[in-house]
Structure 1
């Protein structure tokens, strides 16, 4: 049914809800800032998923008391927006069903999952936002406040009174990201669930406590502020939803950058509002893709105006010595780069053949040249690809043995997210038959407990002897140790590895 469009007797307000474990929630904060700049009051509610990365098939994520506390915070809304990725569909559904019939406002879902599967989302939500949400949601607010229909708003899908779908095309991407205000970290009308039945104000002190728990914050021993200096990615990896979104908009103009002065103004304001910030985490998919002269400008301004350590992400195709030297000189102390696989065959499957082993090793050599001024870099690997053979997987382990030390590995179990080319291929080939089990309730931490993945686990800290690792990845050795009869041994090894590591760290006084 079409969302109710009745004239508002009070000023319109938007309540935005984030179910993500990380309270950074960049999209929600960006939309809130945009709406506030347009004169629309917002209220942010952070409901961190209690399961975190330990996903299970548990549709009811939140206790009833939390939902009861949420209802009055949404009572004066013109529209309630819920942000979600695929793994948070259950959270969004529980929230939406609980609000329906208890508040007058329609519920709009936005984010990656509604962008890819809007019709599926409309089985629960009143509206689904496809693509960038700032301008679209502002149009929705204005239409509802004026008693007008929302069925013709670009980027917005809904149902007409006759039950048919209003499937609106996306509007052109905004090329001028400087026209967007920085994300909303005002702490005004921000609330959070920290357990129990209460929703408490999200104050700077509470924010500091949450940000301190971030993975990189723990690594650096500093509180991190996460931001994005652009939108989009230069690559079209077959496992990544960026490729699907590029297809929605057209690849041209998808990668966009904010100007250096715009980024600096945000960081200065963030430091003034949150003096506890100890480093900046630039989470662009490939910050190194910025042109060299732009990176040099960034580095000059960052050193002069911010001066904090910072971290960022790069890709083998974008790392260069000139960029690396400038960024390290400006304060970059840690970086992350996607490797994904050492198998040329799987690189082609992933559409990363242009970033083959030689290209990756060259980028790693550039990174390693700054090892005395940085923490060990992290290299991402994708495990458990259904198209891999044993030999493909061993090629990845052998590649790890060639990586110059020091380094860390970040191994992720492949999740075949909707909309990606790899998911469509796997479904067509009969390799993805239960999305509920293998996508919606699967975390990237759920690595298959077998011999080859155990080798990756051993190599994760970058300290395992390279020659020994290569020997363990020899095909005859791996065939014997990957035998089905030994499967219980590897399951046991994975079961005890995590607790044993945590215990050892506590005994050594290094913390968790």
Structure 2
């Protein structure tokens, strides 16, 4: 299909996101843009089990599945097949399910035009284009607008940059557009939120995503991103593919402070109960301090809510930035460490100067009285690790200032990334992120010790005794699944205790959290109790 009949302004387009929740930050930006162009855009979510949800700690590692029953697949495809165009967004872990749904749609209505965006088509376009009529392989806002206007007006759309097209089996690959700059981002519509959306309920079909469901999925939290781009080029991350496409992706880009403030104000008008804002930027601390200073002042004066920053990389941790953001309301951070081994970090192509991680952790720990203990990401089960690499990681965790929280992930390979290619060169086979067991952590003694160190620092003699029996995950050894599972439960309890201090209740039902807010307890605690506990930062009020 190269050109279309004219007069398509009234046809139905469905935007559908397949994922583990309804956060879908990038998808919401694209859906909002689509509705600003086309008057008939339906927006829906297909929510599969979240492998990292706190409630899943009660399941064995790796038990979470990403599948739908045949009955659900038929209901979904029957609904989507009614549209003239269906635009999917999904990550690689949901690529298999996305392809199953596309196949079902085509069996009902072969004329439905399928567009696939999101991370998977960018990372593995050769796979995605086999199932779709069009895929977006770069930043979508400008490209999709150009494509949709051409498509709707009956013009030739197959030259749209940032897109590949499958025309009766012939693939057309177009070049990339330049990346958006801050001024471009200022002109994008605000992300779609609580505006006539649908969510699929198993055995029922697509249902309105009403206030009650927002509470159930998101509780008292709003999730967003201010900046995009990452200075790091870690080979296990999908960002490495983005950077391969355009090296400028390593530059951190962001809209104005006023843009992000207006976004938060707009969602608060719809949902006044929102009590925590979570920023998922890859490298929030890489934003220059002048912009952060403007953000802090306007946030404190115009928003006044606690917020979390879940994207911090050690190279950009600065004491002044942390202090400034805590003054503005930051109460929780998450930083990627990944490994304590210089050899493994070098293999991951992750910058690490001697002492960098320890210095960053010490800077964060200096403000331990004003935050939830920091969360540190650690990757285990790397197939090229030596025993020395594993011990280096354990030693680093033993030395880090406490308290802290560990987010422990088993290494899984995203196809078509640098990691995938490097392991192939080494002749190493390792599970991919699309496998059903991608959350499975091998219950070795080494991994048990990683979890133990997330709970406490054992006596030195005991620690050194246990180190004698450490083996890499690829070696035959005794397994300790019950011990590992018990430690996961203890870690969850610690997280709950730490975060309850800030009226943050991970894992509890959203409606229960809403009741706490409705009774005024959340606001009272944030305004009266936490404010008193942060008097040491009052000096910043005069700056």
| TM-score of the two chains, using structure 1 as the length reference | 0.88
Partner of 1:179: 187
1:387 to 375, 384, 387: 384
Determine if the alignment matches structure 1 residue 471 to structure 2 residue 464: yes
Task: Please state if 1:493 is matched with 2:487.
Answer: no
| Contact 1:50 1:61 survives alignment (8 Å) | no
Q: Report the alpha carbon displacement of residue 42 of structure 1 after superposing the two structures with TM.
A: 1.9
Shift of 1:495: 5.2
Pick which of 282-291 and 55-64 moved more.
Answer: 55-64
Contact 2:19–2:46, Cα closer than 8 Å, also in 1: yes
Q: Distance in 2 between matches of 1:500 and 1:234?
A: 35
- What SS class does the counterpart of residue 165 from structure 2 fall into? strand
Higher RCO, 1 vs 2 (CA within 8 Å, ≥6 residues apart): 2
Matched, 1:146 2:140: no
Per-residue deviation, residues 106-128 of structure 1 (Å, max 9, x unmatched): 11111111112212112222211
1:168 is matched with: 174
The Cα shift of 1:234 comes to 1.5
CA contact (8 A) 1:342 1:357 kept: no
For residue 139 of structure 1, report the CA deviation from its aligned partner: 2.6
Residue 126 and residue 279 in structure 1: after superposition, are their counterparts in 2 closer, same or farther (change >3 A)?
A: same
Cα distance in 2 between the residues matched to 1:41 and 1:110: 19
Within 5 Å, give how 1:382-421 maps onto structure 2.
382-421=379-418
Of 89, 92, 98, which aligns to 1:92? 98
Distance in 1 between residues matched to 2:491 and 2:32, nearest whole Å: 42
Q: 1:348 aligns with which of 346, 361, 372?
A: 346
In 1, Cα distance between equivalents of 2:376 and 2:493: 25
- Per-residue CA deviation, residues 202-248 of structure 1 (Å, 9 max, x unaligned), is 01221111112xxxxxxxxxx21110001111211122111210110
Once the two structures are TM-superposed, the CA of residue 12 in structure 1 deviates from its matched residue by: 4.1
- Name the CA distance, whole Å, in 1 between partners of 2:211 and 2:493: 33
Secondary structure of 2:248's match? coil
Question: Does the 8 A contact of 1:432 with 1:438 survive in 2?
Answer: no
Q: How does 1:320-359 map to 2 (within 5 A)?
A: 320-352=318-350, 354-359=351-356
Task: Decide which moves more: 96-105 or 299-308.
Answer: 96-105
Cα distance, 1:442 vs structure 2: 5.0
SS in 2 for 1:11: coil
Cα distance in 1 between the residues matched to 2:44 and 2:442: 35
- Tell me the equivalent position of 1:230: 227
Q: Give the SS at the match of 1:231.
A: coil
Task: Tell me the secondary structure at the aligned position of residue 346 of structure 2.
Answer: helix
Measured at CA, do residues 62 and 16 of structure 1 come closer, stay the same or move farther in structure 2, by a change above 3 Å? Answer: farther
Query: Any idea what SS the aligned residue of 2:406 has?
Result: strand
Give the superposed CA RMSD.
Answer: 2.9
Gap change, CA 1:321 and 1:430, over 3 Å in 2: same
2:517 equivalent in structure 1: none
Structure 1 window deviating more from structure 2 (25-34 vs 13-22): it is 13-22
Which whole-Å CA distance do the structure 1 matches of 2:495 and 2:143 have between them?
Answer: 49
Structure 1 segments of 4 or more deviating over 6 A?
54-59, 481-485, 499-506, 509-512
Structure 2 gaps of 5+ residues are 53-60, 509-543
Structure 1: which 5+ residue stretches go unaligned?
A: 213-222
Q: Does 1:33 align with 2:9?
A: no
Q: CA deviation at 1:164?
A: 2.3
| Partner of residue 445 from structure 1, selected from 439, 444, 469 | 439
Number of equivalenced pairs: 488
Q: Supply the distance in 2 between the matched residues of 1:253 and 1:351 (Cα, whole angstroms).
A: 14
Q: Normalising by structure 2, what TM-score?
A: 0.83
Q: Report how far residue 466 of structure 1 moved.
A: 6.4
Q: What is the CA-CA distance between 1:450 and the residue it aligns to?
A: 0.6
**For the residues of structure 2 that align with 1:11 and 1:499, how far apart are their CA atoms?**
52
Moved more, 273-282 or 122-131: 122-131
C-alpha displacement at 1:55, in angstroms?
A: 6.4
Q: Which residue of 1 aligns with 2:144?
A: 137
Conserved? CA contact 2:164–2:173, under 8 Å: yes
Aligned residue in 1 for 2:533: none
More displaced, 442-451 or 399-408?
Answer: 442-451
Deviation sequence 1:172-197 (CA, Å, 0-9, x none): 11212111122100321x11123323
Match of 2:108 among 102, 105, 109: 102
Are residue 80 (structure 1) and residue 86 (structure 2) matched? yes
Q: Pick closer, same or farther for the CA change 1:369–1:303 going to 2, 3 Å.
A: same
Q: 1:266 to 1:466 in 2, by over 3 A?
A: farther
From 371, 374, 381, the counterpart of 1:377 = 374
* Change beyond 3 A, Cα 1:397–1:455: same
Deviation at 1:169, TM superposition (A): 1.0
- 2:272 pairs, out of 268, 272, 275, with 275
